[in-house]
Structure 1
Amino acid sequence: MDRVPVSRPGPVSRFVTALIRLIFPVLALCAAFLLSFYLRDVPAPEFAALGQIDPLLDPSDWINQGFIVLPSVFFILNLSSRRYGAALTLTAAFIAWLVLAGGIFWANREGLIADFEEDVSPYALAASFTGAMAVGQLVNILLFDWLRGIPWWKAPFFAAFVGGTVFAVVFNTRPAMVWDAELGGRLAVEAGIHFTWALVQLLPTLMLRRTIRPLPGFGGA
């Protein structure tokens, strides 16, 4: 009996499928960034207790709730990488930046943002944040793709922790920063936040493993 040849999806079909798959990661990444921005002025006084361990670890002068929720970006990237792989997740991260930039441009044109440097951020700081976060995202995605497999927790944990820590180091060692003992304390606190996030996000990752399964070709993790 002759076998019926299986037709492969055409380029248009593959393009539409990729667009559909990009929707959730892009929206989730944008939501995480917007939430972090919205909470940037909300203090996090509970972290002042770190100053009792060492005064250099006291983050009262700079930490806010936006810092606390920002590592959720790497959790979202992990889920996308698990499901869709590195290529689509990199694309989603890039498109999310384009969407955010487009939203800022639109808001500025419509008068919703009167002055970018006053309402959003100084240009130099915004550029430093974007560059550092892009590097952290790249490290996160590539590391997850490299480590995915058994044990399942290795890729999401190390991708989130290393990606977040790389972001913190790159952002906090920009030329405008003073390299001193206080910078070391800040990096230690931020690394601790990313470590905690990397550890805690393993629970929802475990709970979602049956729901968010890798597509064919992306085994493990």
Structure 2
Amino acid sequence: MTRHHLPGILAMAAVVLASNILVQFLFGNWLTWGAFTYPFAFLVTDLMNRIYGASAARQVVFAGFVVGIICSLIGTQIMGEFGPLVTWRIAIGSGAAFLTAQMLDIAIFDRLRNGPWWRAPLASTLVGSSVDTALFFTIAFSGALTFIEPSNDVSWAGEALPLLGIGPMVPMWVSLAVADWGVKLSLALIALIPFRMIVSKALSGKILA
């Protein structure tokens, strides 16, 4: 780790911390405000991967993972109206999803880094985001995994409702996952703009240096 990696570490820590705070606030029926900040973790990872390599990206991801664990542990100790702000299922799902998805993002990006500039960040983020959403919502809310935390009643998440209020009948947590996934995919496309700008500036600076 060098001083050049510090901005990436701080950015990842800020994204994870902000997302853990904003996830407590609803946005509409299917999302929280945290859904709009968390996807930028993939942007930070991809920037570090492109500019400094896969090893630096993994260091940044590990720093974000540690921050996420700390936030989850604190959340399990804070009591809200319906119990702890963070249940153990949510904590486990969040950690597992983050680490798995980010490491997958790094591996895919590294494999595609020599192609067109947009292919590696777009493909790695799309795959990583999909895995992240699937793992988190399944672990945190699926009725099939109640054995993880038997004392945590997640029956509300299994209530059958129209998908996003308009589609076929599915458990509520599936609608939450689909809405979250849609935001991630949208932001993956938008993030290509700052990715291109930051990489171009950073690499030109390295060449001049």
Same-fold status (TM-score > 0.5): yes
Higher strand share: 2
Contact 1:40 1:67 (8 Å CA) reproduced: yes
Correspondence for 2:181 among 167, 171, 191: 191
Higher helix share: 2
Larger RCO (alpha carbons 8 Å, 6+ apart): 1
Note the alpha carbon deviations across 1:145-173, whole angstroms, 9 max, x for none: 11112311001111111111100011112
Contact 2:65 2:99 (8 Å CA) reproduced: no
* 1:172 corresponds to 2:137: yes
CA RMSD of aligned residues (A): 2.8
Note the alpha carbon deviations across 1:48-96, whole angstroms, 9 max, x for none: xxxxxxxxxxxx1x41111121101001111111111111211221133
Which structure 2 segments of 5+ residues have no match?
145-159, 161-169
Structure 1 runs (4+) deviating above 6 angstroms are none
- What one-letter code is carried by the residue in structure 2 that aligns with 1:147? L
Larger Rg: 1
Q: Count residues with an aligned counterpart.
A: 178
Contact 1:83 1:215 (8 Å CA) reproduced: no
Contact 1:77 1:141 (8 Å CA) reproduced: yes
State the match for 1:65 in structure 2: 33
Correspondence for 1:203 among 189, 193, 196: 193
* 1:90 corresponds to 2:80: no
- What one-letter code is carried by the residue in structure 2 that aligns with 1:79? L
- What one-letter code is carried by the residue in structure 2 that aligns with 1:174? I
Contact 1:42 1:64 (8 Å CA) reproduced: yes
Correspondence for 2:91 among 126, 140, 143: 126
The 1-side partners of 2:124 and 2:204 are apart by 17
The 2-side partners of 1:162 and 1:36 are apart by 20
Match of 1:121, SS state, is: coil
Give TM-score scaled by structure 2 length.
Answer: 0.74
The verdict on how the C-alpha distance between 1:114 and 1:177 changes in structure 2, with shifts beyond 3 A counting, is closer
State the match for 1:115 in structure 2: 77
